[in-house]
Structure 1
Amino acid sequence: MKLVLAVVNNDDSAILSSALTKEGFSTTKLATTGGFLRAGNTTFLIGVEDDKVDAVIDIISKYSRQRTQTMPDPSVYGMGMYTNYPVEIKIGGATVFVVDVEKFVKL
């Protein structure tokens, strides 16, 4: 058995949750905050059998899209009177971790 941890943008969490549930995968959702942009994310915890990991990752990939966002240049934070010029960065997508589960008990 594996535990899939997927950190996705809040904008994608509802549709991803629906897609996973529709395909029969049980999920636990946690509200999390990213460190770089300090923006809200959703972290999904999904316990699956080894042979279902690729199916879960495919669903996550399909419903977690990347987008661009404009923000002030982070290299000049706290530099006093310097002007912040906006830069475009990519946000969204998903960060996925797959870990072995030694024991699974549902009570």
Structure 2
Amino acid sequence: MKLIFAIVSNDDSSKVAKHLTSHKFSVTKLATTGGFLMAGNTTFIIGTEDDKVDEVIAIIGRHSKKRTQMVPSSASYGVGMYTSFPVEVQVGGATIFVVDIERFEKL
């Protein structure tokens, strides 16, 4: 048995959750915040059999898309002189961790 942690953009989380549950996967959703852009994410916790891991990852991949976003950045031009300009960064997609489960009980 495996435990999957999938960190997905809030923009995609409802689609991912809908498709995982429609394929009969039990899902726990946690509201999380990313460290780089401080943007809202959803972390999914999914327990599944070893042979279903690729199916879970495929569903997440189909419904969590990467996109670009402009974010403010600043540069220093000497002592005390700063300017702000937009920088394009890639956001979205999913970060997935798969770990072994030593023991599972549902009480």
TM-score tier, shorter chain, comes to: over 0.9
Residue equivalent to 1:13? 13
Question: What is the distance in 2 between the residues matched to 1:104 and 1:36?
Answer: 34
- Runs (4+) off by over 3 Å: none
Alignment deviations for residues 49-86 of structure 1 (CA, whole Å, 9 cap, x no partner): 0000000000000000011110112666xx85311111
Residue equivalent to 1:23? 23
| More strand as a share of residues | 2
Residue equivalent to 1:37? 37
Residue equivalent to 1:81? 81
Q: Percent identity?
A: 62
Alignment deviations for residues 28-55 of structure 1 (CA, whole Å, 9 cap, x no partner): 0000000000110000000000000000
Query: Which ranges of structure 1 fall in alignment gaps of 5 or more residues?
Result: none
C-alpha spacing 1:64/1:80, structure 2 compared with 1 (3 Å): farther
Query: Which ranges of structure 2 fall in alignment gaps of 5 or more residues?
Result: none
TM-score, structure 2 as length reference:
0.93
TM-score, structure 1 as length reference:
0.93
Number of corresponding residues: 105
Question: What is the distance in 2 between the residues matched to 1:74 and 1:7?
Answer: 28
For the residue of structure 1 that corresponds to 2:53, the secondary structure is: helix
Contact 2:4 2:98 in 1 (8 A): yes
Look at both structures and tell me which one has the larger radius of gyration over its CA atoms: 2
